C-alpha cells in the first residue's frame, strides 16, 4: 500500500535537539497505537500514525549505541571538549559512530506496520537506498555479512571501507535513528574512535572515493528519490 512520508530538512542542528524531536514523533505514534490496539475492527493499516523522514547535518558529535563499548572512543571527555566534539550514549543499536558537517544524516520515523513489520527487511531496504545512490556516482556499494551499513569492497579485508553507517531503534514497530552517509565529511574525526566497534576497517566518503567535492544538495535529492522507490512511498512537504 502506497504510503505518505512527511519530509523535513532540518538543516544544521545540534544532535541533542534532533534526538528529542525524534523521540517526540515516536511518542506521538506510540500513543496512537496504544489507543487503537483494542479496536480490533479497525485494521492496523488504518490507524492514524504518521510516517516521517528527517534530514539533518550535525555539528561534530560521537554517538554510542545502547550496547556499545565506551572503550571504542579513543579519547577522554576532556580531550573531546578540546576537539569540540560532543558525545552521547543513546538508545539505538550499533556501537560508536561520528556525525559531522557535510554528512547526510537521515532519520526515518516510520510505522513498519504500514510497510512491513520486519527489521531485517527495513535495514536491508535502507541499505539499498544508499547502494542505489552510490551507483549514480559509479560506486559499487555493498553489504558486509553480519555488519549493518553500506561498504565498498567489503570482501577484501585490506581495502574494505564503510561509507554509510546505520543504527536504529524500533518500538511498537515504529522506527527512529537511521543512516549517516559521508559526502564531503572530515574523516580525520573518525581517527579518535573505532568506527562501529569494528577493528581494522576504515571509513570513506564520496569526496575521497571520487577525488573531488560532491554537491551536497544533489546527494540529498538522490536519497529522497531512491527512498520513495525502495519504500514505495511519496514524500510530502
Active site residues: 196
Q: Contacts from 112-118 at CB under 8 Å and sequence distance 24+?
A: 112/170, 112/173, 112/174, 112/175, 113/33, 113/44, 113/45, 113/47, 113/49, 113/173, 114/1, 114/3, 114/44, 114/45, 114/49, 114/51, 115/3, 115/231, 115/232, 115/233, 117/173
Q: Which three cell numbers stand for residue 18?
A: 534532533
Residue 158, SS3 per DSSP: coil
Amino acid at each position: 500500500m502506497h504510503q505518505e512520508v512527511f519530509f523535513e530538512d532540518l538543516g544544521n542542528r545540534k544532535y541533542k535537539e534532533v534526538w528529542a524531536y525524534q523521540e517526540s514523533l515516536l511518542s506521538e505514534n506510540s500513543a496512537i497505537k496504544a489507543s487503537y490496539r483494542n479496536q480490533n475492527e479497525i485494521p492496523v493499516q488504518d490507524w492514524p500514525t504518521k510516517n516521517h523522514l528527517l534530514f539533518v547535518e550535525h555539528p561534530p558529535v560521537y554517538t554510542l549505541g545502547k550496547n556499545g563499548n565506551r572503550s571504542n572512543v579513543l579519547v577522554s571527555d576532556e580531550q573531546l571538549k578540546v576537539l569540540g566534539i560532543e558525545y552521547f550514549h543513546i538508545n539505538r543499536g550499533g556501537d560508536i559512530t561520528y556525525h559531522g558537517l557535510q554528512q547526510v544524516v537521515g532519520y526515518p520515523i516510520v510505522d513498519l506496520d504500514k510497510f512491513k513489520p520486519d527489521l531485517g527487511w527495513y535495514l536491508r531496504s535502507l541499505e539499498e537506498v544508499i547502494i542505489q545512490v552510490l551507483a549514480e556516482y559509479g560506486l559499487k556499494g555493498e553489504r558486509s555479512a553480519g555488519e549493518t551499513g553500506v561498504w565498498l569492497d567489503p570482501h577484501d579485508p585490506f581495502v574494505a571501507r564503510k561509507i554509510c553507517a546505520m543504527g536504529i531503534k524500533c518500538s511498537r514497530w515504529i522506527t527512529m535513528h537511521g543512516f549517516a552517509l559521508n559526502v564531503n565529511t572530515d574523516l580525520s574525526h573518525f581517527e579518535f574512535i573505532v568506527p562501529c566497534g569494528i577493528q581494522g576497517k576504515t571509513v570513506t566518503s564520496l569526496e575521497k572515493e571520487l577525488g573531488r567535492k560532491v554537491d551536497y544538495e544533489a546527494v540529498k535529492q538522490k536519497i529522497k528519490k531512491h527512498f520513495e522507490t525502495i519504500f514505495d512511498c511519496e514524500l510530502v512537504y
